[in-house]
């Protein structure tokens, strides 16, 4: 599995593989992790990782197969929005003219 998905200090950490570009194909903005969904499909566990562009709203979902132990670890984060670093969000909003 090329994706790194873990829980550190009670927070979800998701790192995409090096070959995966997380730039919006429509407005070229940086995509942000939006949420994950853990589910059992076709007899195995998987996690859907959704990234969303804060500029235009484009969303991309990546399905990643995971072992059952990892599914249990990530279940508490399933279907919850990911909180982002306030400084990063503030910087982006400022760059778009909000302040």
Question: How far apart (Å, rounded) are the C-alpha atoms in residues 44 and 41?
Answer: 6
Length of the chain (residues): 99
* Angle (CA) 66 50 96, round 5°: 150
Sequence spans of domains, the chain: 4-9+20-95
Measured distance CA(87)–CA(99) in Å, rounded = 13
The confidence score (pLDDT) of residue 83 equals: 65
The per-residue pLDDT string of the chain (99 residues; one tens digit each, 9 = 90 and over) reads 588 888 888 888 888 888 877 899 999 998 988 888 999 988 899 999 999 998 888 999 999 999 999 999 898 888 876 766 667 767 767 777 766
Q: Which residues pair with 47 in a beta bridge?
A: 38, 64
């Amino acid at each position: 599995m090329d994706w790194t998905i873990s829980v550190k200090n009670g927070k979800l950490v998701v790192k995409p593989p090096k070959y995966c570009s997380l730039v919006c194909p429509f407005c070229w903005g940086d995509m942000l992790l939006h949420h994950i969904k853990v589910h059992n499909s076709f007899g195995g566990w998987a996690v859907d990782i959704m990234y969303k562009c804060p500029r235009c709203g484009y969303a991309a979902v990546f399905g990643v197969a995971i072992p059952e132990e990892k599914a249990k670890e990530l279940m508490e984060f399933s279907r919850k929005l990911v909180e982002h670093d306030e400084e990063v969000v503030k910087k982006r909003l400022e760059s778009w003219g909000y302040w």
